[in-house]
Structure 1
Amino acid sequence: MEREGEEPSPSQWLSADRPIRSRSEDELGRRGFSEALADAIRGWSGQESLVIALYGPWGNGKSSVKNMAVEALDQSSPRIRCVEFNPWQMAIRPSLSEAFFDELGIALGKGDLGSEKQRKRTLNTFKRWALRLRGPHDLAKATRNVVGALLILVGLAAFGSAWLHSKTFAFTFGILALVIALLAFTTGLVEATIKLLAAGIDVGQKSINEIKEKLAQDLKRLKTPIVVVLDDLDRLTPQETLEVFQLIKSNADFPNTVYLTICERSIVESNISSVLKVSGSEYLEKIVQVAFDVPLIDIERVRRILFDRLNQLLVGEAVSKHFNTTRWANIFWSGVHAYFSTLRDVNRFVSTLAFQFSSFFVDGAFEVNPIDLIALEVLRLNEPVVYRALQSSKEVLTSHKSNGRDTEEAKQSLNSIVEAGSNNHQNEITEILKHLFPATERAFGGPSYSAEFGARWYRELRVCSPKLFDRYFRLAVNAEELPQATVQKLLAARGDRSELTSILGSLATRGLLVLALEELAICEDELGAEQVEAYLAGIFDTGDKIPETRPAGFEIPIQWRIGFLVQHALEKIEKADARAAALVNAIDVTSGLTMAIEVADILTAKSAEEGSEPFLSGADASDVQAAALRKMEAAASSGALARSPRVASLLHIWHRWGEPGKAAAFAEGMSNTPEGILALLKSLELRSTVRQVGDRAATERYYFQRTDFEPLISLDKLNEKVNALPAETLDEQGNRLVRNFHKMLERRDAGQPDSGPFAFD
C-alpha cells in the first residue's frame, strides 16, 4: 500500500504474467480443487499408468492450479515425486523424445526402487526401453538430415560446374564437397545407428515385450507413483503436439506412473486432426483416462482483485481528488468491465497502468483524470487499433460543433473507430467513447453539450478537453503547458499578493504568464471574496511583463482578457462600493502600471455604457479613475511612463479622462530626444498580417494612422524632429518607423486614407 501522497513506483507493479507457485498465493478460491486433484493422484495404485488432462482456455489459470497441486503432492507423506516436463520451453525442440526420457529416467533414479543394485538394474532396463523407442525415430531424423544435405551439395556442385566451365575441376569440387558433407552431417547418423544396434543386442536376448514386462515389474515396487507433469501442450506445433502424445501413449501402461497434461483442449484436438486427418477428440479420448476442466473463474473475485489494486494506485489526494465514484461506476459497468474476466487480465492491466500513473506525477501532482487514464489504458491494451484511431481524431472527439453536416461527419468517423475494434466488444467501445468524450454523444443519438462545459472538463483534467487531449497520448506534460503542481500553487496563492506576484513573475520569465492567467480564469469560480484585493494587485504587478504583441484576426487583446478576469473577480464582492474600494486599493499598491490603468479604463467605460446596468456607479467609477490618474502622474514623474511599451495607449487614456493638456505636454517632452521619438513612434505603430493567394505563411506589414497622433502631438512638429534624427543612430526597426511615418504623411498630403492598400509598407 502506498503512503499518503507518495508517487507509485512502476517496478513494484510490473508483473511477469506467470502463474502462482503456492497455495498461499491463491486469490481465486481454487486451492480446494488443486488439493482434491493432488489427493486423487496420491491415491492412485492401478497396474497401469493414469493419464489425467487438465483443460482450460489460455489465461484461465491452468498452470496455477497445476502448481498448487504439485506443491500439495511435494508436501505429502510419503512424498510423491513430480517430474515437470514443459516441451514448449525447451531450447532445442527437435529433441522432445530424448528430453522426455531423460526427465523420466531422472525421476526413476530418485524413486524408491529398493536397493542400489535394484535401482541400477531398473534404470538399465528403462534405458534399453527408451533406446528401443527412440532409436528408429532418431535414425530416421538423422537420415533425413543427411539426405537433405547431400541433395543441397549436389545442387551446389552442379551449379559450380556450370559456373566454372571445367569438368575436371567440377568433378574435383563435387568430390571434395561430398567428403566435407559426410564428415559434417553423418555424425548424427552414426550415433543413431549405434544406439539402435545397441538396443538390438538386448532385443536379441529379450523381446521388446519382455523388456517392457521386466520394467513394469520393477515399477510395481514403487511405494508412491511418479507424476509426470506436461504443461503448455497447447503452445506446440501440430507435429510436436502429436509427438508428445505418442510418447505418452507408448509409456501409458506402466504401473505407478501418472501423466498430468495441461492444455486447452480445442487447440490440441485441432493440432492432432491437422496431422493425422482423424478426429482429434477421439484420439485424445483413447489416451486420456480422466479429464478435468479448470473451475470457472468467479468473476466477482476477479473484479474485487482489480478494485483492490486500483485502490492502491488511487491512494493520495493528488490522484483521488479527480476520482468521481459515480462516473467510475458508469464507465466501468457500461464498457470497461467486459475486458476483465481472468486474473491475467488484471495483472497485465495493472502492471502497465502503474507505469502510466507514474508518468503523470510531476512534483507530487497528478496531471490527468485517473478515470480517463484507466479507460484509455483498457482500450490501448485490448483494442490497439481503436486506440491509435483515437490519437488522430482529436477534432471529432472534442468538438462542440452541432450543425447537421458536422454531426453526420462525426457519426461516420466515430463509427469507423468503433468498427475497428473487436466484434464482440463494439457496444462496450461505443459506451466508453461516450463517457470519455461527451461531445460525441450527439453523433450516437444522445444529448449535445455546449462549449461552457469545456471549462469544467478542463478543471477535472478530462481527456475530452482539447487543451489536455494530447497530454494523454504523449504520456507527459508539454513544455508549453503548466504542470498541475504549478497550477495548484498558483490557485493557493490567490489571497497572498506577495506569493502570487512571485509565482506569476517566475512564469513570466519562462514565457508562461498568459497560460497562468488562463488557468486563473478557468478556476475563477473557486475565488473567495476575501481574496479579491490581493488577487488583483498580484495580477497588476505582473501584467506589464506580458510580451507586447498585437492580436491578429479575432484574437482578444490581452488587456481585455485581463479586464474580464478582474471583472469576474470583483463580482465575487456583493456590495458595489466594496468592489470599487478593492479595485482602488489594488491600483494604489501595485508596482505595475500599464495593465492597472488600462483595466481601470475598460471597467469604467463599461459603467458608462447606456442600456445596461453599470458595473460601477458614477461615484465609484470616478474614484477608480482618480486612483489610475494618481498612478499615471507618479509614473510620469519617475520616468516609468516613458519606458512603458504602451505609453501611447496610456497617454490616450490620460487625454480621455479630462486632462488632454497634461497628456500632450508629456508627449511633447518625449519628442525632445531621439530615444523618446522612437519610443513614441513604436508605441503608435500598428501591425497587420496579409496572406496572398498561394502563400503558406502570412506577411507582417506595419503602418501608422494619423488619428492616433493628433490628440497627442502635432504631426508637422514631430516630422521636423523625425527628420533631424541622425541616420547613423537608426537600426532596422528605427528605419522602418521613420519610413512608415513619412508614408503616413505622404498619404495625408495626397488625400489618401490611413487604412487600405496604401497604408502598408
Structure 2
Amino acid sequence: MKINKDKPIQSHEVDLLHREKFVNSIVNLLRNNDDDDSLTIGLYGEWGSGKTSIINMICERLTSVDKEGAGYGEGEEYIKVIHFNPWLYSNASDLTRQFFTHLQSELEKNKAHKFATIVKKLGQYKEAMVPALSLVFGPTAGIATKVGIDALTTYTSQTENRSLQTIKDELVEKLKELKQKIVIFIDDIDRLSDEEIVTTFKLVKLLADFPYVTYVLAFDYEVVAEAVNRVQRNRGKEYMEKIIQVPIAIPAIQRVKLDSVMKKRLNNIFSEEDWQTVSKKRWDALKRDGIDLYMKSIRDVNRYCNLLYAYYMALAEEVDIVDLIGITILHVFEEKIYTKLPQYKSILCKDHLPKRVVDTTDFYLNEFKNTVEETSHCKEGAKNILGILFPRIHDGLECTTWTLDGGSDDVLREHHSIQLMDNFDRYFIWSISEEDISNGEIYKILVEYEEEDIVGTLLRYNKNNNLRRLLIELTAAIRGKYSDRLTPERIQLLVKSIIYNIDMLYGDWDEFFNASLDRITLTLVDALLRLLENDKRWNLIENIFNDGTVHISVLCLILNNYRKDIQGDEVEHQKKDMIFSKLQIQNLESSFVERCIQWVDTNRYHKDTYGVYFIWLLQELCATAYEHIVKKLRSEDRGIVKILELSIETVTTSEEPNRIWRFKEKNLENIISVEELYKNIQQLIEKNKLVELNKKEQAAVAIFLYYMEHKDEWSLKNSGVNEQIIQKKLLEIESSYKG
C-alpha cells in the first residue's frame, strides 16, 4: 500500500466518490453565463469535503472544451481559467498586489497575445493602486463605503495624473470589447487570518469586479462567517451575502461511496488471510457502531488509514486486526481518550487481578466513564469502540460490545487480543518488547527449532520470569492455528523436548509447583498429545514411562493428571474426552510403581533436588511398594532428610518478606512421627552429616529445628520461617558443632 498524501485529485477519472453530475452542473453554469457583469460563486464545504478536488475537476471540464475544438483558432480559449492562492502571501496589502501580478502573468500565457492590452492596463492599475491600499483595505473599511469609493475616485496617480477610477474604467472598457470569459478560482480562504479573509472579499467586490470575470471562492462557510464576524462587528453572514451571488454547498458524501473507499483502503493494508482471522460479527459491530460515526470524508479515511498502515507494518501478525482498527480510530479521532487508556489498564483488561484491585473497580470505572463523557468528540462512537475492545467494561459504559468468539482465553491469546493484560502494551508502544512473545517466536518453537534450541528458548524465558506466559501462548497456538500444521514427528519432538528437560528448565521443584508451572506444562503436553492418532500417542507416552532418564516426579505428575479421567463409574468415563483408556492408564500405573522402587533402591534419590514427592501417589497405587520405599528411606540419613522435605511448604505472601517456609506435621502421617524424625535429625548433626546435604536439604533441617524449638507458639496459619531465620539457624548449628 502507498501512503495516501491527502492530495486533491486532478481528474474525474480518479474520482472515487462519483461527483460528475455535481461538477457538470457548475461547469454548465460557468459556460452558459452570458452576463457581462462580474459574478461571484461561493463553493461551501467543511474541512476535508473535497473542495479542491471539485475545483480541479471543474477546471478539467472547462479546459477540455478548448482541447476538443469548437471553432476556436490556435491559442484561443473559450474560458480562461486562473487559480490564485491567497494563503501564499504574508499580509493583506501583499495579497492584493500579488493578485494583480498573478493575473497579469496568467493572461500573458495566451499564445494569441489577445490579452496584451489588458495586461498593460492591469500593470497601470496595480501601480496606481498601491498608495491607496491603506485607505481601501484598512481594518475598518466596509464594502463600497463612502471612504472606499472616495479613495478610488479622488486618488490621483502622481505619474500619470489620472484617478484610480479612471484607469479602472479604461480596463473595464477593454475587457468588454474583448468579451473573453475568465474564471478565477480562489481556494482555501478559510486558512487565512481574519483580516486576510475580509481583504480577499474586498478585492473581489471592489477592486477586481471586472466584466466577464467569474470568481469561484471555496471555503468552509461557518469558519469564514465567524472570522468575518470578528472583523465586521457580528455582521459576517450579511457581509458575505453581499459578496456571494451564487452560494453552492458541496453535497454530503453518500455513505455507500465512502464505505467503498474505506474498504479499498483497508484491503490494501490487510491481506485476504488477515481478514480470514477476523470475527465478521465483531467487525460489523465495530464498523457500524464506531467507525462510521467518525468517517465523514475522504480526508478522514486517508488520514486514518495512513496511521493504521504504519502501525500494521510495525506489528504485523502480533495484534488482532479488529483491535488494531478500533484502537487506531481512538488514536486519530479521540486522542485525549487514547492517551488515558494505559492509566485504566487494570479495569479494561481481562486477567486474574488481586482482590484489592477488584474491590475498587467501580470507582475507577466511574472515573473512566467521566473521562469519556467529558473529552470525547463523538461520545456514542467512543463508548461503542471501547465496549467492543474491552467487553468487561461495556455494562459500565452502557454501550455496544462483541466478544471474540465467546472470549475464551485460548481464542484471546491466539488473536493477541488487546483485552488481555499481557497484550495490552503492544497496542500503545507499537512494538514487541524483549520480554514479550511474538508470533515469530511461537512459530520457531513449534515448527523450526530442534530440541537444543527449544530448550534454550524455554530457559531464556524462564530467566526473564516469562516462561509461564510462553507456555500458555504455545498451548493456545497449538489448539488454534497450528492444530493442523504440526506433523506427528514434530509433535513427538516437542513433547520429548519438554518432558525430558523439565529438571533443567525449572531447577527447583518447589518453584515448579508453586508457580503452577506443573499444571501449565501438563496442559501444553496434553494439547500436543491430542493432535496425535491414538496409537502414536500411546507409543510416545509408553516409551517415556519406560525411559529411565525421565525424572520420576515428572512421571508422577503426568500419571496423576490422566488418572483423574478414570475416577468415578464407567458411565462417567464414557462421557469424558479421555486421552487414554482405563487399561492404558493402569499400564502406566504399573510402570510408575516399578520406577519408584528402582529410583529408591538404586539411591538415585540421594542427589535429587526434587525430593521424593512422588510417594504420595505411590501410597494410593500400591501399599506394598509404598511400605518398602518408606522403610528404605527411614533406614538412611539421606532418606530421613528427604522425608523431612515432604513436610516443608513454601508460601508466597503480599507482605515483606514475600516468601516464607512452614513445617506441616500432617504431611508425615503414616511415614514417621515427629519425635523419631527429630531424633534422627539430631543424630545426623552430631555425625557432621549436615555438610553433605545440598542447600535445600540444609534449609529443611533448619526450618524443622526452629519449629521444634518454638512448637508451643507456632501457628500454622500465621507463622513461618523466612530466609533470614533459616540462615541464622544454620549458623547456630555450625557454631554448636565447632564448639
CA distance in 2, matches of 1:626, 1:501: 32
What's the CA shift for 1:690?
5.5
What's the CA shift for 1:667?
9.0
23-32 or 743-752, larger mean C-alpha shift: 743-752
CA distance in 2, matches of 1:590, 1:360: 45
Structure 2: unaligned runs, 5 residues or longer: 67-75, 140-152, 726-739
Secondary structure (helix, strand or coil) at the match of 1:126 reads: helix
1:323 pairs with one of 278, 283, 286: 278
What's the CA shift for 1:197?
13
Match of residue 280 from structure 1: 236
Match of residue 49 from structure 1: 38
646-655 or 397-406, larger mean C-alpha shift: 397-406
CA distance in 1, matches of 2:29, 2:242: 20
1:135-192 Cα shifts (integer Å, max 9, x gaps):
6569x89xxxxxxxxxxxxxxxxxxxxxxxxxxxxxxxxxxxxxxxxxxxxxxxxxxx
Match of residue 471 from structure 1: 426
Map 1:574-585 → 2, pairs under 5 A: 583-585=541-543
Does the C-alpha gap of structure 1 residues 33 and 219 become closer, same or farther in structure 2, counting only changes over 3 Å? Answer: same
1:646 aligns with 2:610: yes
Match of residue 34 from structure 1: 23
Does the C-alpha gap of structure 1 residues 277 and 547 become closer, same or farther in structure 2, counting only changes over 3 Å? Answer: same
Q: What is the TM-score when the length of structure 1 is the normalising length?
A: 0.73
Match of residue 434 from structure 1: 387
Match of residue 586 from structure 1: 544
Please say if residues 113 and 221 of structure 1, whose CA atoms lie closer than 8 Å, have aligned partners that are also in contact.
no
CA distance in 2, matches of 1:358, 1:758: 52
17-26 or 699-708, larger mean C-alpha shift: 699-708
CA distance in 2, matches of 1:342, 1:590: 70
CA distance in 2, matches of 1:584, 1:691: 42
1:687 pairs with one of 643, 646, 650: 650
What's the CA shift for 1:262?
1.0
Q: Which amino acid aligns with 1:428?
A: G
Secondary structure (helix, strand or coil) at the match of 1:341 reads: coil
Match of residue 735 from structure 2: none
CA distance in 2, matches of 1:570, 1:535: 10
Match of residue 374 from structure 2: 420
Secondary structure (helix, strand or coil) at the match of 2:5 reads: coil
Does the C-alpha gap of structure 1 residues 378 and 48 become closer, same or farther in structure 2, counting only changes over 3 Å? Answer: same
1:669-724 Cα shifts (integer Å, max 9, x gaps):
8849xxxx9999989865344566xxxx4343446667878959976555555455
1:545 aligns with 2:534: no
1:24 aligns with 2:13: yes
User: Greater relative contact order (Cα 8 A, min sep 6): structure 1 or 2?
Assistant: 1
Q: Which amino acid aligns with 2:701?
A: F
Q: Which amino acid aligns with 1:429?
A: A
What's the CA shift for 1:521?
4.0
Please say if residues 104 and 228 of structure 1, whose CA atoms lie closer than 8 Å, have aligned partners that are also in contact.
no
What's the CA shift for 1:374?
1.0
Match of residue 127 from structure 1: 126
CA distance in 1, matches of 2:514, 2:710: 33
Does the C-alpha gap of structure 1 residues 681 and 233 become closer, same or farther in structure 2, counting only changes over 3 Å? Answer: same
Secondary structure (helix, strand or coil) at the match of 2:43 reads: strand
1:744 pairs with one of 700, 704, 710: 704
Match of residue 598 from structure 1: 556
Does the C-alpha gap of structure 1 residues 619 and 213 become closer, same or farther in structure 2, counting only changes over 3 Å? Answer: closer
Map 1:153-164 → 2, pairs under 5 A: none
590-599 or 553-562, larger mean C-alpha shift: 553-562
Secondary structure (helix, strand or coil) at the match of 1:648 reads: coil
What's the CA shift for 1:353?
0.8
What's the CA shift for 1:20?
1.8
Secondary structure (helix, strand or coil) at the match of 1:17 reads: coil
Match of residue 163 from structure 2: 207
Secondary structure (helix, strand or coil) at the match of 2:382 reads: helix
CA distance in 2, matches of 1:16, 1:530: 47
Please say if residues 9 and 53 of structure 2, whose CA atoms lie closer than 8 Å, have aligned partners that are also in contact.
yes
Please say if residues 671 and 721 of structure 1, whose CA atoms lie closer than 8 Å, have aligned partners that are also in contact.
no
CA distance in 2, matches of 1:592, 1:458: 31
Q: Which amino acid aligns with 2:237?
A: S
Match of residue 335 from structure 1: 290
Secondary structure (helix, strand or coil) at the match of 2:613 reads: helix
What's the CA shift for 1:466?
3.4
1:239-281 Cα shifts (integer Å, max 9, x gaps):
2211111111223432243322111223323322332226333
CA distance in 1, matches of 2:113, 2:307: 53
Map 1:532-681 → 2, pairs under 5 A: 536-548=495-507, 557-564=516-523, 583-588=541-546, 592-594=550-552, 596-603=554-561, 606=564, 620-628=584-592, 642-650=606-614, 658=625, 661=628, 671=638
1:70 aligns with 2:26: no
CA distance in 1, matches of 2:706, 2:127: 115
254-263 or 449-458, larger mean C-alpha shift: 449-458
Q: Which amino acid aligns with 2:198?
A: L
Does the C-alpha gap of structure 1 residues 515 and 131 become closer, same or farther in structure 2, counting only changes over 3 Å? Answer: closer
CA distance in 1, matches of 2:402, 2:259: 33
CA distance in 2, matches of 1:426, 1:267: 23
1:97 aligns with 2:61: no
CA distance in 2, matches of 1:445, 1:478: 33
Match of residue 326 from structure 2: 375
- Calculate percent identity across the aligned residue pairs: 21
Q: Which amino acid aligns with 2:285?
A: N
Does the C-alpha gap of structure 1 residues 93 and 22 become closer, same or farther in structure 2, counting only changes over 3 Å? Answer: farther
Match of residue 510 from structure 1: 461
What's the CA shift for 1:231?
1.2
Q: Which amino acid aligns with 1:420?
A: E
1:244 aligns with 2:200: yes
CA distance in 1, matches of 2:710, 2:422: 50
Match of residue 258 from structure 1: 214
What's the CA shift for 1:130?
3.1
CA distance in 1, matches of 2:362, 2:308: 35
Does the C-alpha gap of structure 1 residues 278 and 313 become closer, same or farther in structure 2, counting only changes over 3 Å? Answer: closer
Q: Which amino acid aligns with 1:434?
A: G
Map 1:144-543 → 2, pairs under 5 A: 200-202=157-159, 204=161, 206-220=162-176, 222=178, 224-277=180-233, 279-317=235-273, 319-361=274-316, 366-398=317-349, 412-413=366-367, 415-422=369-376, 425-443=378-396, 444=398, 453-490=408-445, 502-503=453-454, 505-511=456-462, 512-522=466-476, 525=479, 536-543=495-502
Q: Which amino acid aligns with 1:646?
A: Y
CA distance in 2, matches of 1:248, 1:639: 105
Does the C-alpha gap of structure 1 residues 507 and 554 become closer, same or farther in structure 2, counting only changes over 3 Å? Answer: closer
Please say if residues 475 and 524 of structure 2, whose CA atoms lie closer than 8 Å, have aligned partners that are also in contact.
yes
CA distance in 2, matches of 1:559, 1:446: 39
Match of residue 182 from structure 1: none
546-555 or 337-346, larger mean C-alpha shift: 546-555
CA RMSD of aligned residues (A): 4.8
Q: Which amino acid aligns with 2:22?
A: F
Secondary structure (helix, strand or coil) at the match of 1:227 reads: strand
300-309 or 371-380, larger mean C-alpha shift: 371-380
Structure 1: unaligned runs, 5 residues or longer: 2-11, 142-195
Match of residue 177 from structure 1: none
Match of residue 146 from structure 1: none
CA distance in 2, matches of 1:520, 1:120: 78
434-443 or 703-712, larger mean C-alpha shift: 703-712
CA distance in 2, matches of 1:634, 1:407: 55
